[in-house]
A and B are shown apart, each in its own frame.
Chain A
Amino acid sequence: GAGVSQSPSNKVTEKGKDVELRCDPISGHTALYWYRQSLGQGLEFLIYFQGNSAPDKSGLPSDRFSAERTGGSVSTLTIQRTQQEDSAVYLCASSQQGGANTGELFFGEGSRLTVL
């Protein structure tokens, strides 16, 4: 597709369940970011993948959160044993960095997670 695709767009789950959120970045983009945004608030950085480098996991709030990026393309964010405070919109973004590329981010529409 032409843009960053995220699925599901909405997810309602019960406290304690695991969830997986998927991000399909723009083809050829080497960098991929995950952010969390509570209603109308700022962006909370979660994790950053760049090429084959080790991911920057410094923003993950707890060990219940993990993410992987397979084959340098699709990424999955996994939240284990969800808690109500995990309810938020999870945003994925990709960019082309390196060389002459300036690295502006292209965002998906987000996955809205509600933990009951």
Chain B
Amino acid sequence: AQSVAQPEDQVNVAEGNPLTVKCTYSVSGNPYLFWYVQYPNRGLQFLLKYITGDNLVKGSYGFEAEFNKSQTSFHLKKPSALVSDSALYFCAVRDVNTNAGKSTFGDGTTLTVKP
């Protein structure tokens, strides 16, 4: 069975500081990894993904994430946080080797960026 852990329910950072939202995963095969974001009173939207290749992937709104196979992690990062980044963030995993397998989501992390 596959699973995702987001160890922090809440992350608070000051505007302009770097941010990290943590994610670790467990999957029997190789992973596809995803981050999604849900802004207040808005729908969930795809942010970025790791499929293969370069361990550092870049996505929308200046976000990036680093895949670390040995630590089974896929932490979301941004060098300089904006107040508008405040949202609920979800990490998700799919097993590459299960072609039709479903995505499994973490419980989400609420990011609050204060001015």
Contact = CB atoms under 8 A, between A and B. Distances in A.
Interface of A: 30-31, 33, 40-43, 45, 48, 50-51, 53, 56, 91, 93, 95, 97-99, 102-110
Contacts of A51: 100
Contact of B103 (A53, A98, A99, A103): A103
Contacts of B92: 105
Contacts of A95: 103
A13 to B, nearest CB: 22
A22 B103 CA distance: 21
Contacts of B101: 97
Given A31-B102, A50-B102, A108 B88 contact: no
Contacts of A109: 43
B67 interface: no
Contacts, number: 60
User: Secondary structure of the B side of the interface?
Assistant: strand
Contacts of B105: 42-43, 45
Nearest to B34: A104
A45 to B, nearest CB: 7
6 contacts: A40-B110, A45-B105, A48-B102, A93-B44, A103-B32, A107-B43
B16 to A, nearest CB: 26
Contact of B46 (A40, A105, A110): A105
B103 A40 contact: no
A98 B99 contact: yes
A91 B44 contact: yes
Contacts of B90: 42-43
Nearest to B36: A105
A102 B32 contact: yes
Given A51-B100, A99-B99, A103-B103, 14 more contacts: A40-B110, A42-B108, A50-B100, A50-B102, A53-B100, A56-B102, A93-B44, A97-B94, A105-B34, A105-B36, A105-B44, A105-B46, A105-B103, A106-B46
